[in-house]
Amino acid sequence: MKKIGLALGGGAVLGAAHIGVLRALHEHNINVNYITGTSIGAFVASLVAFGKTWEEIENIASEIKWMDISGITLSKFALLTNEKLGELSIKHIGDKNIEDAMIPLAIIATDISNGEKIVLNKGSVATAIMASTCIPGIYKPIEFDGKMLVDGGIAENIPVKTVKEMGAKFVIAVDLNSSHTYQKPNNILDIILNSFHFLIQKTNKFQTRKASILLQPDLSKFNGSDTKQIQELIKKGYEDAIESFKKSFS
């Protein structure tokens, strides 16, 4: 059997759809040998890599609210900090290093000084998650190894190339933004998220060309900031993944 890699893309709250994909993988007895994630995909990928089941991840996600993962900061670079998200990861997987993962894991961030992709495959999981989910303009950049890191979506939103470089020969990629309809913003968070995702949407198709299976759940009726949608997003991710797997593995 070819080594299977899973590449989970970014998409803020839309990332709950990843959990539905994990359920579909479980029901098809598809075991992942390598996993990568960007932004919210990094958080989900880390939980998977450290042995959490899709049910456990669903329970974690169902309790998350924006203010549970955000705090006010006095930084000149942003209004908020996502240190609480790092604390949440420590709560559920411990204060671990990436190299301790049960499944080989890589997390994508961006060096905001030069736009370079930074592949985090060692060191603190919590710090890597914070860096990868650090949406510019919302969260304070993360200082790491002399670099100022922000959301990995700028450099590689769907890390297919990275998981192939880890050794995966068969890659399942999840793109949360391809079928997403952007609604009229209700607040500044929606404005920043929409702007950010407009930018990365154009690069996603190039990043996913070498995926063996590309899952693009239809998330057109959802927005990227409302945590009340989490259960519906999980259900939609599951339904669309099941349909795709029927075609691919029948």
Catalytic residues: 39, 151
Q: Which of 48, 174, 53 is nearest to 102 (CA)?
A: 48
Convert 160-175 to b/e letters by CB count within 10 Å (16 or more is b): bbbbbebebeebbbbb
118 SS3 class? strand
HSE toward the beta carbon, residue 178, CA cutoff 13 A: 17
User: What is the C-alpha separation between 155 and 167, in angstroms, rounded?
Assistant: 20
**CB atoms inside a 10 Å sphere around CB 77:** 15
Beta bridge partner(s), residue 4: 170
